[in-house]
Structure 1
Amino acid sequence: TDIESASRQSASPEIDPQKEGHIPIIKYCGGCRDLIPKDGPPRCPSCTTKQNRESDFYSTRERAFYGKKGWKKARLVQLQEEPLCRLCSEQGNVTPAQVVDHIVPIRNGGSPFDKNNLQSLCKPHHNQKTARELNEMKRERSKNAKVH
């Protein structure tokens, strides 16, 4: 059927434009794995925006920290000791934690390995907290830019 053939085509990362119907060549987004035009950027607009926000937010040094063995071990221990999202638990919900968050960001003087500065969060709560921190950082930058 037409539906079956369309779903087979959309599941394929590349489609031949020479065939009838000229479907553009596509590839998987490097972030979310959605299908996007092959001749475009490596990520869909949503993932590109997210990547740009994160690259503005995290310095190269900070990104490198999260790839190091010491952090990976601390993260694993934290998730074993606190496997549920702390903020969901405070609201009476049970949600597995996926992210270990620094309560006080390292860039603001927070201790990177102090258990009292770590909390387990689900992705939505971590994303909300990160967005708030990013907005605060932008406000500070614009306030400092106006002063100078």
Structure 2
Amino acid sequence: MPPRLILRKGRGQRQQAGHPWVYEGEIAAVKGRPADGSVVDCATWNGTFVGRGFYNSRSKIRMRILSRHPDDTLDHEFLHTRLAWALRRREKLYPQATSLRLVHAEGDLLPGLTVDRYGDAIVVQCAALGMDQRQDDIAGMLKDLTGIEHVYFRKTSACAATMAYR
């Protein structure tokens, strides 16, 4: 079982309504010793499961929820399935487009991950440490799913302001 964030009494309504972020001030306790970027669970003060996502002790947004199901494992297969779903949506909506946003972070249930296509190149921005730590995996999945070989990572202001090719 992953480490667990316990929300303060009276908190959790936003997350239970679908909001994917857990802020620092909403947390009453941290059970276990989660590493930054690792998977954690979140529960209300009375033990109700809220979600599973990536943790970052150095951010005001301590957790970004990727799943509302306690049986989900946030592994390669999980991320691949979510990416494939987002890409299929864009293909349906914009079948001829060669420049468009492929992944809309929270809108595609991948908080902290934005993916844009510019012709034969893909540019990825990770605004969450958990996503940033999985760059190589994400690059491989995008190459596999799109057939595009040029995947670049744009670093946010919190990181180095560079572009890295994967």
Normalising by structure 1, we get a TM-score of: 0.23
More helix as a share of residues: 1
Q: Which structure is richer in relative contact order (CA contacts within 8 A, separation 6 or more)?
A: 2
Normalising by structure 2, we get a TM-score of: 0.21
